[in-house]
Amino acid sequence: MDDVTPGQYSVLAGLDVIGPMTPRELAVREKVQPPSMTRTIAALEQLGLVDRTDHPSDGRQVLVSLSVKGAAVVRETRKRRDAWLAKRLAEATPAEREVLAQAAVILNRLADS
């Protein structure tokens, strides 16, 4: 969906992987201030990509979750990105693919520490 910004997509992808979260949890995960996340959630809700529901144990909170349409956007975006990457990797030489594999190991190690 062309209306979704990279930051909004990041929120959608996080909801897809982790599941429903409070706006505060989303703000922490995305490393943004709560008012920014509130605006992002409102925009995603207006596009029909997320749903808000009452928090089951805290009446002051809401949970944000992917809507059916939001899940489809995440699925299609991943499919499109995977196809793009597969095409680019197929164009790389075996030596370039080996360098990328080594870089991936290093990046994963750095991300885990």
For residues 22 and 64, what is the distance between their CA atoms, to the nearest angstrom?
Answer: 6
Considering only CA atoms, which of 59, 48, 53 is closest in space to residue 19?
Answer: 53
Query: Is the pLDDT reported for residue 1 higher than 80?
Result: no
Q: Note the pLDDT tens digit of each residue in 52-63.
A: 998 888 888 899
* Fold (CATH) for 6-112: Arc Repressor Mutant, subunit A (1.10.10)
* Mean per-residue pLDDT over the chain, rounded: 94
Measured CA to CA in angstroms, residue 4 lies from 49, 66, 70, 109, 110 at distances of: 10, 14, 10, 31, 29
Largest pairwise CA distance in the chain = 57
Cα-only R_g, the chain: 17
pLDDT of residue 26: 96
Identify any residues that bridge with 66 across adjacent strands, giving them in sequence order: 50
pTM higher than the cut 0.75: yes
What percent of the chain stands above pLDDT 70?
A: 98
